[in-house]
Amino acid sequence: MSEIIITSDNFESEILQADKPVLVDFWAPWCGPCKMIGPAITQLAEKYAGKLLVAKVNVDEVGSVASKFSVNSIPTLMLFKDGEVVDQRIGAASLSVIEAFVKPHL
């Protein structure tokens, strides 16, 4: 798996202190739209390995992180750069739409 699984213990080191842009997928296993975009997220992680980090936050298991960033709907994608949220989108989307969301920040 090329995505980083985020816990409350590794959020700061893996995302806020990352030396590359980080695409964070806030999701849950019961969420249909989250399952729909899962393969696209994995493809992006593989395609942009070395340029982009991809992380997954299960909102059921790491609710504190989701709350900190006011995630009320899933899937929510947030793009972090230098420890700050630089962009976000909510809802399912195709690979091409998600890629277009990420590319300007690489």
Task: Please answer whether residues 80 and 15 qualify as being in contact, where contact means their C-beta atoms are separated by less than 8 angstroms.
Answer: yes
Which listed residue (22, 31, 77, 98) is catalytic?
Answer: 31
What is the Cα–Cα distance from 55 to 94, expressed in whole angstroms?
18
Residue with tokens 């750069």: 81
Which has the closest alpha carbon to 77: 19, 32, 38? 38
Which listed residue (4, 15, 34, 102) is catalytic?
Answer: 34
Q: Is 34 a catalytic residue?
A: yes
Residue numbers annotated as active site: 31, 34
